[in-house]
Amino acid sequence: MTPDDFLRRLAAVRTHKRRDERAPHKPLLLLLALGRVARRQERLVPYEEVEPLLRELMQSFGSPKSAVRPQYPFRWLRTDQLWDVPRFRELSRNASGDFYVWQLRELGIEGGLPEDAYDVLRADTGLLWQAVGEILREHFPESLHREIRDAAGIPEDGIAWEADVEEALPTPAVRERESGPPTFYSFLTRRRRRDPLFRKRVLDAYEERCSVCDLDIRLGERLLGVEAAHIQWHSHGGPDQVANGLALCLLHHKALDRGALGLEERKGTGFNVLISRDVRGERTGSLVDFSGRRIRPPRTRAMALGEKFVGWHRREVFRGQPSTPT
């Protein structure tokens, strides 16, 4: 297997992301597997060992719509040729083709990357980091990358790809020369460029303050901790338009992307803040005190948030109705 073969398989997994709907379960299992390679751990891991880790990742970063069932990606990533369950034939499957969790546990069933994929990743650290970066960018907003990497046990070394993707990655041209004819860079070329003016336009629309809490700290002239957030994630088709952006402080940006904070339209007069019932802690005021409050409207009506982007966020990200663990 060449690095390109591996990237081609990785690109094919993506087709399971339907239009703008989130489907992050397989990517999360892949990140766990890549973390094992990065830490030089063995290829195979018992289901019982991977289950709690995957469950936690799915609960924290999965789609709020779908139930948390770690056995699904453990079963179905296999069809993408990116997962191997050597004792597959010993397992019974139900009518939908799913494994039975009790059996996975009782028989001590192991899974892991297929041998060819594991070997090519072990031999090519650049490929490993590239794969991690591709998965993160395809499925999650940048504000969550570090957190997800930590949760998946992926060490820091891959930091380069986070700063500026286009420059930090080995360029397609280099790899193409290495491996012959023009190859599949579908996901590198397909990646949508970001509009460099998005940040400026959004901050300007909201007068450089957090639209939830009004924070507007500066150090000298430069803003400190106020960012332009996408409502519908850029990775999921969200455009770089002011109608899809909000100026938010670091906390409220993170809360938006994790689904702790959501928005709901109030009849004709802008949007209210929603706070997930799952928020916990003793000093949660910086978040829960804003529940039901109106967000700061933009300077002009033409800059108003688009309801369809808010709707996407409420459907795909906001943890209004937590999924029940199995």
Give which of 278, 297, 276 is closest to 206, Cα–Cα: 297
Beta-strand ranges (E) seen in 24-135 are 44-46, 110-112
145 near Zn ion (CB under 5 A)? no
Structure tokens belonging to residue 235: 């990775």
Q: Which stretch binds Zn ion (CB under 5 A): 30-38, 190-198, 204-212, 272-280?
A: 204-212
The answer to whether 210 contacts Zn ion (rule: CB under 5 A) is yes
Per CB under 5 A, which region of 47-55, 70-78, 124-132, 214-222 contacts Zn ion? 214-222
CB of 312 to Zn ion, least distance (A): 21
Our CB check for Zn ion shows the closer of 77 and 249 to be: 249
Residue 249 binds to Zn ion (criterion: CB under 5 A): yes
Smallest gap from residue 249 Cβ to Zn ion (A): 3
CB nearer to Zn ion: give 43 or 254.
254
Q: Which residues of 50-66 are buried (b: 16+ CB within 10 A; e: fewer)?
A: bbebbbebbebbbbbee
By the rule CB under 5 A, 252 interacts with Zn ion? yes
| Closer of 12 and 250 to Zn ion (Cβ) | 250
Which residue type occupies 321?
Q
| 119, burial (CB in 10 Å: exposed 0-12, middle 13-18, buried 19+) | middle
Q: Which CB, 121 or 213, lies closer to Zn ion? A: 213
Residue 213 in contact with Zn ion, rule: CB under 5 A? yes
The residue type at 210: C
Report how far residue 228's alpha carbon sits from residue 45's, in angstroms, rounded to the nearest whole number: 40
Q: Using CB under 5 A as the criterion, which residues of the chain lie in contact with Zn ion when the complex forms? A: 210, 212-213, 215, 249, 252
